Amino acid sequence: MKKRIVSIIACLVIMMGTVLTAFASEPTDAFDSSLGDEFSYEMTLGDIQTDILNYIAFNNLGIEYGSEEFSVLMNDFAFAPPAEVSETAQMYYSAYASVYLGEESIDAMHNKTIAEIRKANQSVATKIQQAYSEPSETKPYVAYNLKAAQDYAYAYALVDNFNYPVFRLDCTNFASQILHAGGFGTTSKWNVWAGADTEASFNWINASGFLQYWSLTRGYLGPVCTSLSQVNSKAYAGDFLVWFNTTTYEFYHTQFVQSKVNGEVYCTQHTSYYFNQKLNDRVSASAFPDKHVYIVKFN
């Protein structure tokens, strides 16, 4: 009997050990990116997009490519890539998001590598960087009605004003509307009604065009920030923040500084739509090394 009990106990111990080993060797329920462990500028947008779509499917997010929800997700990836993927994947996702948010024609760019996109953007990026670091002349500021701009941002932060065209990527279009409401009239180089593919429309709806027009042409040249603390220190209500990705050299997003409370900046924007949100709550400081913020300085 004793031998039988000992045998039964031994079997139980072996069985438990087998079960524990099985549990220990089970794969973890985490998304496994196919983009590799080392970042490469030769990665194509199409490869990154495939990985992002796999990430969406793995997490049952139910988001379709090209939808409004996808644009919101890209906004999230641009400012706070998902923590559950590797740092390399986060960098790829942020790079892809910058192009998705900065370009209307991303479908035609799937075969382009990050290196090719960076090269195509380099001349504009260099021109803007030089202007910000070495301003050649001081242009007179024209005051605008900050209260009217803030009121407009409040009224249309969460809805569209159909007196203006509405775009899939609407952040810079909304920023221009705020300035227009604040008293700046349209010009031959800044006018959404000038027609598609015109310089005036480009400067109205595109982050790079908006930055070049208001900073380089009109002279509202502010500092360049490389951290959240710098943005909070140097931006004030009425200013605009234009975001730049240092991997792709893409200017991809424009925000209105709605208010500043206790030294912290609060922003209003479209794509995604929100009103007077604390910047520190919307942007991950850990994701900031691949970002610069160019302040279009109105205050």
User: Is the pLDDT at 84 greater than 70, yes or no?
Assistant: yes
Give the per-residue pLDDT at 32: 92
Q: What is the mean pLDDT of residues 236-240?
A: 97
Give the per-residue pLDDT at 136: 59
User: Is the pLDDT at 261 greater than 60, yes or no?
Assistant: yes
Q: Which residue has the tokens 């990026």?
A: 125
Per-residue pLDDT band for 127 (boundaries 50, 70, 90) equals very high
The C-alpha atoms of residue 228 and residue 294 are separated, in whole angstroms, by 12
The C-alpha atoms of residue 255 and residue 250 are separated, in whole angstroms, by 16
Is the pLDDT higher at 124 or at 143?
Answer: 124
User: Is the pLDDT at 21 greater than 90, yes or no?
Assistant: no
The C-alpha atoms of residue 46 and residue 29 are separated, in whole angstroms, by 25
Is the pLDDT higher at 96 or at 4?
Answer: 96
Give the per-residue pLDDT at 138: 58
The C-alpha atoms of residue 229 and residue 47 are separated, in whole angstroms, by 34
Instruction: Tell me the average pLDDT of the chain.
Output: 89
Per-residue pLDDT band for 17 (boundaries 50, 70, 90) equals very low
Architecture of the CATH domain 120-296: Alpha-Beta Complex (3.90)
Query: Where is average pLDDT lowest: 10-24, 36-50, 54-68, 175-189?
Result: 10-24
Q: Which residue has the tokens 């005051």?
A: 143
234 contacts: CB under 8 Å, gap ≥ 6: 222, 223, 225, 295
State the pairing for strand pair 240-245/250-261: antiparallel
Which residues is 294 bridged to in the sheet?
A: 224, 242
Give the per-residue pLDDT at 28: 53
If 0-12 CB within 10 Å is exposed, 13-18 middle and 19+ buried, where does residue 185 land?
Answer: exposed
User: Is the pLDDT at 59 greater than 70, yes or no?
Assistant: yes
Task: Tell me how crowded residue 101 is: count the other CB atoms within 10 A of its CB.
Answer: 25
Give the per-residue pLDDT at 137: 60
Give the per-residue pLDDT at 24: 41
User: Is the pLDDT at 36 greater than 90, yes or no?
Assistant: yes
User: Is the pLDDT at 298 greater than 70, yes or no?
Assistant: yes
Per-position DSSP letters for 52-97, written without gaps between them: HHHHHHHTT----TTSHHHHHHHHHHHHS--TTS-HHHHHHHHHHH
- The 10s digit of each residue's pLDDT in 246-257 is 999 999 999 999
Give the per-residue pLDDT at 139: 65
Give the per-residue pLDDT at 11: 43
Q: What is the mean pLDDT of residues 63-68?
A: 93
State the pairing for strand pair 221-225/250-261: unpaired
Give the per-residue pLDDT at 241: 98
Q: What is the mean pLDDT of residues 115-143?
A: 85
Edge to edge, the sheet with strand 250-261 lists: 221-225, 291-296, 240-245, 250-261, 264-269, 274-278
